[in-house]
Amino acid sequence: MPLKQLQELAEQIPNKNPQVIVDKFLEPQLHFIGEIKKASPSKGLIAQDFPYLQIAEDYQKAGVDAISVLTEPDYFQGDLQYLQEISKVTRTPLLRKDFTIDSYMIYQAKIAGASLILLIVAILSDDQLNEYLNLAHQLGLAAIVEVHNPNELQRALKVRASIIGVNNRNLQDFTVDLNNSINLRSLVPKDIPFIAESGIKTVADIKRLKDAQVNGVLIGETFMRAPDKEKLITKFKSV
pLDDT in tens, 118-133: 999 999 999 999 999 9
- Cα Rg of the chain, angstroms: 17
Q: What is Dmax (Cα atoms) for the chain? A: 49
- Give the pLDDT confidence of 153-207 residue by residue, as tens digits: 999 999 999 999 999 998 778 889 999 999 999 999 999 999 999 999 999 999 9
Active site residues: 35, 37, 97, 146, 167, 197-198
CA distance 82 to 35: 12
- pLDDT digits (tens), the chain, 239 positions: 899 999 999 999 999 999 999 999 999 999 999 999 999 888 889 988 899 999 999 999 999 999 999 999 999 999 999 999 999 999 999 999 999 999 999 999 999 999 999 999 999 999 999 999 999 999 999 999 999 999 999 999 999 999 999 999 987 788 899 999 999 999 999 999 999 999 999 999 999 999 999 999 999 999 999 999 999 999 999 99
* Alpha helices (H) along 139-228: 150-158, 179-185, 203-211, 221-225
Q: What does the pLDDT read at residue 64?
A: 98
Question: Structural domain of residue 146, as residue ranges?
Answer: 3-237
Spatial neighbors of 144 by CB under 8 A, at least 6 apart, are: 95, 116, 117, 118, 119, 163, 164, 165, 195
Residues 52 and 36 sit within 8 Å (Cβ to Cβ): yes
Q: What does the pLDDT read at residue 41?
A: 83
Q: What does the pLDDT read at residue 173?
A: 83
In angstroms, what CA-CA distances link 112 with 9, 69, 88? 11, 11, 10
Helix axes 229-237, 52-62, angle to 10 degrees: 30
Q: What is the CATH number of the domain that holds 178?
A: 3.20.20.70
Look at the chain and report how many structural domains it folds into: 1
Q: Checking DSSP bridges between strand 194-197 and strand 216-219, what pairing results, if any?
A: parallel
3-state secondary structure of 200: coil
pTM: 0.97
